[in-house]
Amino acid sequence: MTQPALVVGSASPHLGRALAQAFGISPVATKMERFPDGELHIEVPPEAIRGRRVVILQTSTPPVGEHLLELLLLADACWRAGAASLEAVIPYVGYARQDRRARAGEPLGGRLVADLLSHGRFERVFTVDLHNPALEGCFGAPLEHLSALPLLAEALRPHVSDTTVVVAPDLGAVKRAEALAKLLGRPWAVVHKARLSGNDVETLGLLGQVRGMRPILVDDMISTGGTLAAAAKELKGEGCVDDFILATTHALLVGPALERLHGVPVKRLVSTDSVEPRQDLPFPHQVVTLAPLLLRALTPDAR
């Protein structure tokens, strides 16, 4: 198979290196600079793009809007340089949590971002563990929605014992927790969470047996850590052993996340590299690369 030209956006250097290595290629050398007014200026080498299948990797971590615009600028540059086809790999899709309007007067941010991406003229978009799989319906291009759960399960397996319980920190994570529990052959439980604001949550109870157990808390993403910290407090109150593993696809860890997780006896965090890994965590962070999963998905013969 002819290898694609791989263009790596500035939000994904870690995964970009791993994916290029998995393909056995070097990423296309792009030039990026900021004009004094803050505008981004991009250049791709036309000779590396013309007539080629081009894959652009860019995750939409903070600053979300900037990174999305950079992806679209890269796509426009490649299209104008004569790319034969364009595909986008967006491991973490920002705004995906705005998949419904909780109150009148709110926008549908997830739908808007999917609409914006249609300007990239992508033939196909690849993503991993979307906050709500139903968002696929908003994308104009075919969406390859990949699951990182088997990769996370493999990384977690050595840490599983006969006291492990997989816990969903809210109702939205139940299917994920159930699937992970099945992969690990362990029981699962769920914490009932209510969101008070973008920054604050409270817990309303728990379903399942957790007394004397060691929890693996699993969620699609950790943003400010509020959900996991609240769930951990509930679990401690219900008699869980002080030995928590956090498992997530997208470890954003923004704002007060570290402060909040400080109160949780985190033994280990297992996440993917959909988000550039932070280097300042006070607990062991095991990063599982998405590169092999993406390589398989991007290799049509293997699909």
Let me know if 245 is exposed, middle or buried by CB neighbors in 10 A (0-12, 13-18, 19+).
buried
State the binding string over 86-105 for ligand R5P (x if CB under 6 A, else -). Answer: -----------x--------
- Read off the amino acid at residue 262: H
Question: Which structure tokens are listed for 138?
Answer: 């908003």
Q: Which helix H or strand E contains 111, and what residues bound it?
A: helix 109-117
Part in contact with ligand R5P (CB under 6 A); list of ranges 22-30, 98-106, 166-174, 204-212: 166-174
DSSP state of 28: P
- Read off the amino acid at residue 190: V
**Could you give the CA distance from residue 60 to residue 63 in angstroms, rounded to a whole number?**
8
* Of the candidates 282, 104, 245, the residue with the CA atom closest to the CA atom of residue 164: 245
**Could you give the CA distance from residue 129 to residue 147 in angstroms, rounded to a whole number?**
5
Q: Is 222 in the site for ligand R5P (CB under 6 A)?
A: yes
Q: Is 256 in the site for ligand R5P (CB under 6 A)?
A: no
Q: Is 225 in the site for ligand R5P (CB under 6 A)?
A: yes
Phi/psi of residue 90, nearest 5 degrees: -120, 85
- Read off the amino acid at residue 87: E
**Could you give the CA distance from residue 219 to residue 167 in angstroms, rounded to a whole number?**
9
By C-beta, is 55 or 221 nearer to ligand R5P?
221
State the binding string over 124-143 for ligand R5P (x if CB under 6 A, else -). Answer: -------x------------
Residue 175 among the catalytic residues: no
Residue from 87, 170, 234, 273 binding ligand R5P (CB under 6 A): 170
Task: Give the active site residue among 175, 182, 193, 233.
Answer: 193
By C-beta, is 84 or 194 nearer to ligand R5P?
194
Part in contact with ligand R5P (CB under 6 A); list of ranges 16-24, 102-110, 217-225, 290-298: 217-225
Q: Is 223 in the site for ligand R5P (CB under 6 A)?
A: yes
Least separation in angstroms between CB 88 and ligand R5P: 23
Q: Is 221 in the site for ligand R5P (CB under 6 A)?
A: yes
Strands 266-272 and 31-34, how do they pair? unpaired
**Could you give the CA distance from residue 197 to residue 260 in angstroms, rounded to a whole number?**
16
Least separation in angstroms between CB 228 and ligand R5P: 6
Residue from 30, 60, 98, 224 binding ligand R5P (CB under 6 A): 224
User: Known catalytic residues?
Assistant: 193
- Enumerate binding residues for ligand R5P (CB under 6 A): 97, 131, 170, 172-173, 201, 219-227
